[in-house]
Amino acid sequence: MKVAALGDNCIDLYSNLDRYYCTGNAVDFGVHMQRLGIRTSLISVTGNDKYGAQMRKELEAEGLDLSHFHTVEGNTAISYMELIDKERVYGDYVEGVMEHIAFSEEDIRFAKEHDLVHTAFWGNAQEHLEELKRAQVKVSFDYATEMNDPLVDETIPYVSYAFFSYDRDDETIRKFLQHIVNEGPEIAVATFGEEGSLAWDGKEFYKYGIEKSNLVNTIGAGDSFIAGFMSGILEGFTIPECQARGARVAAEVVGVFGPWPEREGQHEKDGD
C-alpha cells in the first residue's frame, strides 16, 4: 500500500516560547502514516530559507518519499502560535510560498500511483480530486470545522473518506454525516476532541471515546487521528478498530508539545 499526502506545510512558531515546529496537515498526516508502517509520499512546496531546509531534513529523517516535495524561491509558510492553558491559539499566518502553490501535471500523475491520497481544506488540491477519482484513487479529505463552506459541496462527490471537526455528538452532526455519505463518500467521520469520534458508513453510526493521555498540547491531534483511522482502513480494520487506532495515535500526540511524539522536533528561534 502507498499513500500520498497532497497539500500544505508550514512552521508553527511560538514566539513567546522560542520554539518552532515543522507541521501542516499534509506533513503531520504523512509523518504518522509513515510511522504506522505505510509507505508515504509528500507532495507539497516549501521555501528555500532555513525553515524549508529544516522541514526537508526532518521529513527525510522520517523516511517519507520527497521526490515531489519541491523547494522554491521564497519563504516557508509560518503560523504564529501561542499556548494558553494547554490549548493552541493561532495568531497571524504568513503564507509565503504556499500563497501560490499549484500542483503540476507531474505531481498529479505521481499522486495517481498511490492507493490513497489525503488532502485537507487548506491543501489547494480541490481542482484535482475529480481526476484522482477517475483514476480510481481513494481520497480522504480533512474539512476541519468548515462544514458549511461551499468547498464541501464542490468536492464531496470525489471523496471516499470525509473528516470533520465538531464540538459534540448531537442530531445536527448525525444528520450532517448521513447527508455527506449520501453525496458519495464511503464513510464520514466527526471528531469531538475530548468527546471522541462518530462515524457513519451509510448503515450504522459508530461512537468511540478517547484514550487517556497527559494533555500537553492539542496541536496535531486531528491529523494524527485521521492517519490512525486511515491506516486501519488500508489494513482492513473494522470502523471501531479504525477509531480505536486513531484515538491511540492522537493520545500519543497530545501528550507531547510538538505535532509528532518521540522525536525532538523542537528548535530554538534565532530571531530572524
Locate the domains of the chain by residue range. 2-265
Q: Which fold has domain 2-265?
A: UDP-N-acetylmuramoyl-L-alanine:D-glutamate ligase (3.40.1190)
Backbone angles phi, psi at 15, to 5 degrees: -60, -40
268, pLDDT greater than 60: no
Backbone angles phi, psi at 228, to 5 degrees: -60, -45
Look up residue 77 and give its three cell numbers: 509558510
- Distance between CA atoms of residues 232 and 221, nearest Å: 17
Look up residue 95 and give its three cell numbers: 503564507
More confident residue, 264 or 239: 239
Comparing 25-29, 66-70, 177-181, 252-256, the range with the smallest average pLDDT is: 252-256
Contacts of 2 (CB under 8 A, 6+ apart): 38, 39, 40, 41, 113, 114, 115, 116
Task: Read off the pTM.
Answer: 0.92
**What SS3 class is residue 46?**
strand
Look-up of cell digits 462518530: 198
Averaged over 17-27, what is the pLDDT?
91
Rounded to a whole number of angstroms, the distance between the first and last alpha carbons of the chain is 41
For residue range 204-222, list pLDDT tens digits in order: 999 999 988 877 777 778 8
Averaged over 244-269, what is the pLDDT?
76
For residue range 147-193, list pLDDT tens digits in order: 999 999 999 999 999 999 999 999 999 999 999 999 999 999 999 99
Look up residue 45 and give its three cell numbers: 512546496
Comparing 8-17, 118-127, 157-166, the range with the smallest average pLDDT is: 8-17
Angle between helices 50-62 and 25-35 (to 10 degrees): 20
